[in-house]
Chain A
Amino acid sequence: MLVAISIALMTVWFREGDSGPLHRLRRGVQAVAAPVSATGEWITRPARGALAWASDLGVSRSRLEDLRAQNERLRARVAELEEARLENARLTELVGLTKAREIDSLAAHVIGRPANAWEGVITIDRGSDDGLTNGMPVLGPLGLLGQTVEVSPSSAKVRLITDPRSGVAAMLQATRADGIVRGSIDGRLTLDFVSVDETVTPGDVVITSGLGGVYPKGIVIGEVQSADRTPSALQQLIRITPASDPLTLEEVLVVLQSRATIEPKDGE
């Protein structure tokens, strides 16, 4: 009997719309569970801080040397990019284009981590009362995190790009080769549909392509960890390291509105 009810519930879930009774019930449960998650986050924060501090104590000498070398490379890179930024600003003004990407965003705190092993979903403390709706992109300090799903009045669930149900239209920054970044059940990211003819090397940056309209163009997703070709395959097997580790973040940005394309200024 209960087995039959469970199967019936699944059927009803897929048949009903977002305003159906089960969907409404879930939003109600989520509204009740959000403060519980927030309390858990608050209570465990000192322990997590202590664990992070303890793990940092174990940083090896070679790791420190690597970080110093990386810091020097990044300083040199910043100087180059600053020059390019100034040149870009001058040329943009000259040609008369608006900014390539203007984003209205809203900061939010992470109040819940994935509550089971099967989903890559976090909870944030902003909801429909703050103007959030389903499908809004969410960013971390270093790059794309995911999009909002299951929005309740005061909280929202964010499906991470590492979730197996996620798919992001993406491209390689260097070669502009398009593909789709997909998550997986074990949290790894892959870039699919990149032809074997494209040159892909570890360290290449992967950004959103803006295709599909969900995510604005040009947001960093991560960088290529490895790219493998098999003789008979049409596409490469490309693994991506995400730019942001979503499971350690405490604050995120929700993109309320974005203009992802370059548009001429009025009157130009």
Chain B
Amino acid sequence: MRRALPSVVAVLAAAVLQAGLAPHLAIRGVVPNVMLLVVVTIALVTGPGRGAAVGFAAGLTFDLLGTVAVGPMALVLTVVGYLAGLLHEAMFAEGWLLPLTVVAVSSLASEVLYGLVLDLIGFGVAFWATLVTKMLPAAMYNTVLALLVYPWLARLLRRERPMKTFRRLA
């Protein structure tokens, strides 16, 4: 329970930021997904099991904050958290290129997957138009914000392995 506490606190903080701050960081209707950033960071630091569990909790919170059905983002972030967590062993503490690449790919994958799930449940997503106007800009925006979120959160979660490069960044 004590080991899970930082993850729980991180998800709660992400929920507060998603509801209170993220709407005001929107650029042309593209709102950053703070929950995704936290899920990918935790997954990379802790592994696939924790990544999937945190992804489910964060996704469910995201769904409950919105007005679409409950479940789509929980499904998406569970899968993304698990897959990102599989790279846990390949992560070097000092590296920064791989985490950012994982965030970029995870972000685009989660946006595409979320759009597909919404389309399946009748939301009516015009896929190609949405890919250009929402999914790609959101993925880029999330990747830029990961430069701020990942170093701090990863350091907090991984105290036993110092992160020299990110210590300078953070």
Contacts and interface: CB of A to CB of B under 8 A. Distances in A.
Interface of A: 2-3, 5-11, 13-14, 22, 25-26, 29-30, 33, 36-37, 39-41, 43-44, 47-48, 112-119, 121, 149-150, 157, 159, 164-165, 184-187, 247
A7 B75 contact: yes
Interface residues of B, number: 48
Given A2-B56, A247-B26, 11 more contacts: A2-B78, A3-B75, A3-B79, A6-B72, A10-B121, A13-B70, A112-B23, A113-B24, A116-B65, A118-B115, A118-B134
B16 A36 contact: yes
Contact of B67 (A25, A37, A149): A149
Contacts of A22: 70
15 contacts: A6-B71, A10-B71, A13-B69, A14-B121, A33-B15, A33-B65, A36-B20, A43-B20, A44-B24, A114-B31, A116-B22, A117-B30, A119-B67, A186-B133, A247-B29
B70 A118 contact: no
A48 B61 CA distance: 27
Contacts of A187: 29
A25 B24 contact: no
Nearest to A121: B67
Interface of B: 15-16, 18-24, 26, 29-31, 33, 52-53, 55-56, 59-62, 64-72, 74-75, 78-79, 114-115, 118, 121, 123-126, 129-130, 133-134, 138
B75 A6 contact: yes
Given A6-B56, A14-B121, A121-B66, A114 B23 contact: yes
A166 to B, nearest CB: 11
B78 A6 contact: yes
A10 B75 contact: yes
B134 A185 contact: yes
A115 B66 contact: yes
Given A113-B26, A184-B126, A186-B133, A119 B75 contact: no
A82 to B, nearest CB: 38
B74 A9 contact: yes
Given A26-B64, A40-B21, A117-B138, A185 B125 contact: yes
A118 B118 contact: yes
Which 10 A-B residue pairs are closest in the complex by CB-CB distance? A40-B20, A10-B71, A113-B23, A6-B75, A9-B71, A186-B133, A29-B64, A44-B24, A6-B74, A2-B56
Given A14-B69, A149-B67, A164-B123, A186 B129 contact: yes
B108 to A, nearest CB: 13
A22 B71 CA distance: 10
A150 B69 CA distance: 12
Contact of B21 (A25, A44, A117, A184): A44
Q: Interface centre among B26, B64, B67, B134, by most A CB within 10 Å?
A: B67
A117 B71 contact: no
Given A25-B64, A119-B68, A186 B20 contact: no
A157 B19 CA distance: 13
